[in-house]
A = this chain, B = another copy of it.
Amino acid sequence: MSRPKSNNNTKQSIFLTAVDLFSKKGYDGTSIRDIAYTVGIKESSLYFHYKSKSDLLNSIFEYCDNWLNESKPTNEQIDELIKSLSPFEFFENFFLSISDRHDDISQKISLLIMNEQYRNEKARIFSLEKNCRQVAVFFEDILNRYKTAGCLPDTFDSNFFSHELNYYYLGMVTEWSHVKLRNEDDNYLKERLRKHLSFIFK
């Protein structure tokens, strides 16, 4: 949404190149020159589109924020999913869609956030608060809905299992990111995730 529109080709190109280089070499390891020359313009031209290097980084976080807000499913959509999918299917779908539906740029932004999370406050918020803690709360809510719907036993500890689901996936993410970065086959990770979900729900 906030990503530069296609009616502004250079700006879009700068944005995409910045995402690419920041994710590969880090924010501090990438210069304005790197970006501008990769795009095919002079550094000074870049400043017409973004007022500084940090402005460019912030525009990436802003894009990320909008992306998160837009892809957040509504209460009705969640109810719909819960009616049509088993808990196993819901989470299989959820995790694998992150991996597969993620376009190239979303994947790079994820990597960028992982890379900068201990140095940059906005990256920290995304990684720790949104990707980790808020997701656990979301999972707990989903599990409670399944309990209410009678798909999980009353004794099922939603809070506990929200962490079982969340941390296992987060742990995989480091390995998964390396595997993707190197274009290696990630099927063994998907299979592991399915076995994990079977264990939890079956």
Q: Which residues of A approach B to under 8 Å, CB–CB?
A: 23-26, 28-29, 111, 114-115, 117-119, 124, 127-128, 132-133, 160, 163-164, 166-175, 177-178, 181, 192, 195-196, 199
Contacts and interface: CB of A to CB of B under 8 A. Distances in A.
A51 B168 CA distance: 42
Q: How many copies does the complex hold?
A: 2
Contact of A160 (B25, B115, B160, B199): B199
> A-side binding surface: helix, strand, loop or mixed?
helix
A114 B119 contact: no
Nearest to A25: B119
A167 B167 contact: yes
Contact of A178 (B111, B118, B167): B118
Contacts of A24: 118-119
A121 to B, nearest CB: 11
Contacts of A28: 25-26, 28-29
A181 to B, nearest CB: 7
A181 B118 contact: yes
A174 B26 contact: no
Given A23-B118, A26-B119, A160-B199, 4 more contacts: A24-B119, A118-B177, A164-B196, A167-B196
Given A28-B28, A119-B29, A171-B169, A164 B199 contact: yes
